[in-house]
């Protein structure tokens, strides 16, 4: 990992942010102006690991080929939650219908990129780096995005994950936490001494191990000094007891606490790699997904106006059912988008169709929207970041027009 100390600024002592020495003052002003419009908006990316089947999230029940291809695992016309006469939500996602009708939730099928390959690991890597086909990219797309936002507080980028997600890889400090509660040293009866001496050890080093220790204490400082961060869910929101529930619950906590967080990554590894018994897996996972999004919207209340949530995955699945009532690795997937400024109540993008000649390599849902166009649009809208230079070797198009 490359560390550029000039761009790293830590919250120290009283939680005061210093200014980095790597910025030329005029470039700082330009960036501040660009960012002013975005103000305190937040971008939340939920990543469903495993390749979630887009044809089950947003069911093309108006496409007769869908029933031919999916056979016994197709969602019946009578079961889908009809959205527009052609697409419908999976019945387990029914709680999302109200948000859709209120215009705060949208769907984007047939999104992806053909270079993602059908490998989980490569597809996740390519998506998170934002450079399909190029494994040498040393940074993640969210890291590059928050690097363009003025300020370097450790809580500007937050990942609810056991590990630093590839999306945040790079020099910007990022708070990685599975849980915000009890983010403290456990040295009963000598805590102050332990903190002083451990800080001395980590502050003395200018390498990756030193920096992670410094970030840990910086994060501890902010979290312990912000009791509001432990506020319970508001508005009667009830989050499901699952990774996506605890991730979005804590995302809401940190947004409500107002500590300058701009980009949040929620890592979800569940039963999305549905090679077998797909219906059963979705019956387990989709209610969690829907309930978590509904709870998040309720919990944030009016604050949702400044927040955009993007639910994504590394690839979609083959258009036809396999021999195990499941589906193998495919291409085009489906994103769910939610937020106050999301142009909701509609299915975005263009539908490629499911006819044999319309499928990619006669098996996968084709891709009609490059995922980077969506990333760029959301980075622009939520972080005030110019998306044109966000993806090395690629200039994003105008985007599918997801955000008003």
Partner 1 sequence: MPIDIGPRAAVHLLNRIGYGPRPGDVARILGMGLDRYVQSQLDAPADPELDSRLRGLITLDYPISQVLTLYNADQRSVGVILDELYTAKVIRAVHAQNQLQEVLVDFWFNHFNVYIQDGFARYSTAAYEREAIRPHALGKFRDLLGATAAHPAMLFFLDNYLSRATVTVGGRLVRGLNENYGRELMELHTVGVDAGYTQDHVIDAARCFTGWGIDNLNTSGRFAYRPAAHDTGAKSVFGLNLPAGGGQDDGDKLLDYLASHPQTARFIARKLAQRFVSDEPPERVVDRAAAAFQSSGGDVREVVRAILGSAEFWAEAFGAGKPKTPLEFVASALRAADAQVSNGRAVVAYLQNMGMPLYSCVPPTGYSNRGADWINPSSQLYRMNFGLDLAAGAIAGVGADVRGMVRRMGGNSEDPRSVAVTISAEIFGDGLSRSTLDAASRVAPGGPVSVAARVAGLCLASPEMQAR
Distance CA 105, CA 334 (A): 13
In the complex with partner 1, which residue's Cβ is closer, 127 or 154?
Answer: 154
Distance CA 225, CA 221 (A): 6
Minimum CB separation of residue 332 from partner 1 in Å reads: 15
In the complex with partner 1, which residue's Cβ is closer, 215 or 291?
Answer: 215
In the complex with partner 1, which residue's Cβ is closer, 177 or 237?
Answer: 177
Minimum CB separation of residue 134 from partner 1 in Å reads: 12
Both tokens assigned to 28: 């700082």
Cα 272 versus chain centre, distance: 16
| 3-class SS shares of the chain: helix, strand, coil, % to 5 | 40, 15, 45
Contact 216, 184 (CB under 8 A): no
In the complex with partner 1, which residue's Cβ is closer, 209 or 231?
Answer: 209
Minimum CB separation of residue 308 from partner 1 in Å reads: 25
- Look at residues 249, 257, 262, 248 and name the one whose alpha carbon lies nearest to residue 42: 262
Minimum CB separation of residue 291 from partner 1 in Å reads: 21
Distance CA 248, CA 162 (A): 15
Minimum CB separation of residue 280 from partner 1 in Å reads: 10
Judged by DSSP in three states, 367 sits in: coil
Binding site for partner 1 (CB under 8 A): 1, 49-50, 117-122, 154, 161-164, 174-178, 183-190, 193-194, 197-198, 200-202, 204-205, 207-210, 212-213, 215-216, 219-220, 269-270, 273, 275-276, 320-324, 326, 328-329, 361
In the complex with partner 1, which residue's Cβ is closer, 184 or 386?
Answer: 184
Minimum CB separation of residue 328 from partner 1 in Å reads: 4
Sequence-distant (≥ 6) Cβ neighbours of residue 231 within 8 angstroms: 253, 256, 257
Minimum CB separation of residue 290 from partner 1 in Å reads: 21
What does the longest C-alpha to C-alpha distance in the chain come to?
70
Minimum CB separation of residue 144 from partner 1 in Å reads: 18
In the complex with partner 1, which residue's Cβ is closer, 185 or 279?
Answer: 185
In the complex with partner 1, which residue's Cβ is closer, 89 or 266?
Answer: 266
Q: Would you state the torsion angle of the CA atoms of residues 230, 271, 134, 383, taken in this order, to the nearest 10 degrees?
A: -30
Q: How far is CA 28 from CA 11, 20, 236, in A?
A: 19, 10, 41
Sequence-distant (≥ 6) Cβ neighbours of residue 204 within 8 angstroms: 210
In the complex with partner 1, which residue's Cβ is closer, 245 or 396?
Answer: 245
């Amino acid at each position: 990992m490359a560390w550029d100390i000039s761009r790293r600024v830590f919250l120290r002592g009283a939680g005061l942010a210093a200014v980095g020495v790597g910025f030329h003052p005029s470039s700082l002003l330009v960036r501040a102006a660009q960012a002013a419009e975005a103000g305190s908006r937040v971008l939340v990316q939920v990543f469903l690991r495993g390749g979630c089947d887009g044809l089950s999230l947003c069911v093309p029940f108006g496409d007769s080929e869908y029933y031919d291809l999916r056979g016994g695992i197709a969602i019946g016309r009578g079961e889908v939650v009809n959205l527009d006469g052609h697409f419908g939500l999976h019945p387990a996602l029914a709680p999302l219908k109200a948000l859709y009708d209120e215009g705060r939730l949208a769907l984007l099928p047939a999104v992806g990129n053909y270079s993602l390959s059908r490998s989980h690991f490569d597809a996740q890597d390519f998506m998170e780096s934002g450079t399909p086909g190029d494994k040498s990219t040393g940074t993640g797309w969210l890291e590059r995005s928050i690097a363009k936002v003025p300020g370097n507080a450790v809580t500007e980028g937050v990942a609810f994950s056991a590990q630093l997600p590839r999306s945040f890889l790079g020099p910007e400090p990022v708070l990685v936490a599975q849980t915000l509660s009890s983010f403290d040293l456990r040295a009963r009866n000598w805590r102050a001494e332990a903190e002083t001496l451990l800080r001395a050890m980590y502050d003395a080093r200018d390498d990756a191990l030193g920096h992670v220790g410094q970030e840990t204490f910086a994060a501890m400082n902010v979290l312990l000094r912000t009791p509001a961060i432990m506020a319970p869910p508001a508005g009667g929101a009830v989050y499901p007891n699952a990774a996506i529930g605890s991730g979005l619950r804590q995302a809401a906590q940190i947004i409500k606490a107002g500590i300058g967080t701009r980009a949040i990554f929620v890592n979800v590894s569940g039963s999305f790699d549905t090679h077998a018994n797909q219906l059963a897996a979705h019956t387990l996972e989709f209610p969690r997904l829907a309930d978590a999004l509904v709870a998040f919207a309720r919990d944030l209340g009016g604050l949702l106006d400044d927040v955009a949530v993007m639910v994504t995955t590394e690839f979609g699945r083959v258009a036809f059912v396999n021999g195990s009532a499941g589906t193998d690795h495919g291409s085009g997937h489906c994103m769910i988008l939610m937020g106050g400024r999301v142009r909701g109540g509609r299915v975005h993008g263009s539908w490629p169709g499911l006819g044999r000649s319309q499928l990619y390599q006669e098996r996968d849902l084709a891709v009609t929207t490059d995922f980077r166009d969506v990333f760029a649009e959301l980075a622009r809208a939520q972080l005030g970041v110019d998306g044109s230079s966000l993806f090395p070797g690629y200039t994003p198009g105008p985007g599918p027009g997801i955000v008003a």
